[in-house]
Amino acid sequence: MPVITCIEDLRVLAQKRVPKAFYDYADSGSYTEGTYRANSDDLAALKLRQRVAINVDQRSTATTMIGEKVTMPVAIAPTGLTGMQWANGEMLGAIAAEKFGVPFTLSTMSICSIEDVASVTTKPFWFQLYVMRDRGFVKSLIERAKAAKCSALVLTLDLQILGQRHKDLKNGMSVPPKLTLANIIDLASKPAWALRALSGRKTFGNLAGHVKGADGILTLSKWTASQFDPTLSWDDIAWIKEQWGGKLILKGILDVEDAKIAAASGADAIVVSNHGGRQLDGAVSSISALPAIVEAVGDQIEVWFDGGIRSGQDVLKAVALGAKGTMIGRAFLYSLGAMGEAGVTKMLEIMRQELDVSMALTGTKDIKDVGPQILMRR
């Protein structure tokens, strides 16, 4: 077993262990991938302010996100096809998150179903919703999330038209998926992954059995591609809020005007996010958009951050710029693909340790006291 010191170690291990098509699906952006790279590059460009001779004994990374206690201001973001990184990956990720004390968000496009995840957890998790053309199906998903006692609904707003990711097309991750010779050879070179996959779930768990005439991965992929709804509007969001009746998080806000509308919608939190650079290539990085959005609506609604987080220091920087919480996607997928549940636990431990040490070296004892004072002025 290699020594794991950082998220990059987990990424490298995942790249070795996960078939290329599924690894690339997780680790790709749209078009030139410029926004994908900017998310991490712009975080790295922020410099921390070192302080000394300040009592930083007995530090705390604990806080709350929409009223829920968390051991650090981090939630696992919704990620599609998670169960293809490691068999039954959504269930394993939810277990690790619950044990560690951070929220887990299940994607609509997960391999394991809402009911699967509910069967292995003892505390409420969050469910992420894509708005489909079939509003009856949307309503049924909401009802299933209620039945599973999910404590928040995460509504993703920035994927009504799918951004093109060149790697997916080249790897055959199209609709329907294509099995290429290169994929077959690659799968043969990953026997441990293949052996686990045989015993794991293999289709879209939240869709199979609930979509008439579509049960297999091919037919469900076709159905899903036809269902993303470009007519989505704020009226639909009001309808979803009414159907759900619980805590609502709006993910995919990158513009101040959209943030103002979202804050007035009655939602409980917004996530400043560009979908990990997987949608509008050429959009600003999430961290670049964060300060103006916090200034505009931060006293009306919780503002969270998503995009490019690869360390506890990145979490600290986002909090310093006003985020009340963060969501991590790729770091979660790397850790799951590398080592399964143990990898997710390791990733969360690394994140918290990096956050804790960096707080100490910037003269901060409590995460709730972190602000722009810990950053060097530009």
pLDDT, tens digit, for every residue of 54-81? 999 999 999 999 999 999 999 999 999 9
Name the residue with tokens 């530009």.
378
Q: Are 202 and 216 in contact (CB under 8 A)?
A: no
For the chain, count helices (H), then strands (E).
Answer: 15, 10
Q: What is the rounded average pLDDT of the residues 189-214?
A: 89
Backbone angles phi, psi at 303, to 5 degrees: -110, 125
Question: Is residue 158 helix, strand or coil?
Answer: coil
pLDDT, tens digit, for every residue of 108-124? 999 999 999 999 999 99
Report, as residue numbers or ranges, the catalytic residues. Answer: 275
Q: Are 65 and 75 in contact (CB under 8 A)?
A: yes
What distances in angstroms separate CA 234 from CA 108, 231, 272, 377, one per listed residue?
A: 20, 10, 17, 37
pLDDT given for residue 378 in this prediction: 66
pLDDT of 176 above 80? no
At CA 82, angle to CA 81 and CA 88, rounded to 5? 110
For residues 316 and 332, what is the distance between their CA atoms, to the nearest angstrom? 17
The torsion region of residue 123 among left (phi > 0), alpha (psi -120 to 50) and beta comes to beta
Of the pLDDT bands very low, low, confident and very high (cuts 50, 70, 90), residue 32 is: very high
Lowest mean pLDDT, pick from 114-118, 142-146, 157-161, 352-356: 157-161
For residue 63, the one-letter residue type is: T
- Based on C-alpha coordinates, what's the Rg of the chain? 20
pLDDT, averaged across the chain: 95
Give the burial class of 240: count Cβ atoms within 10 A of its Cβ; 0-12 exposed, 13-18 middle, 19 or more buried: buried
Per cent of the chain over pLDDT 70 is: 98
Q: What is the rounded average pLDDT of the residues 272-276?
A: 98
pLDDT of 209 above 90? no
pLDDT given for residue 268 in this prediction: 98
Rounded to two decimals, the pTM is 0.96
Tokens standing for residue 22: 């599924």
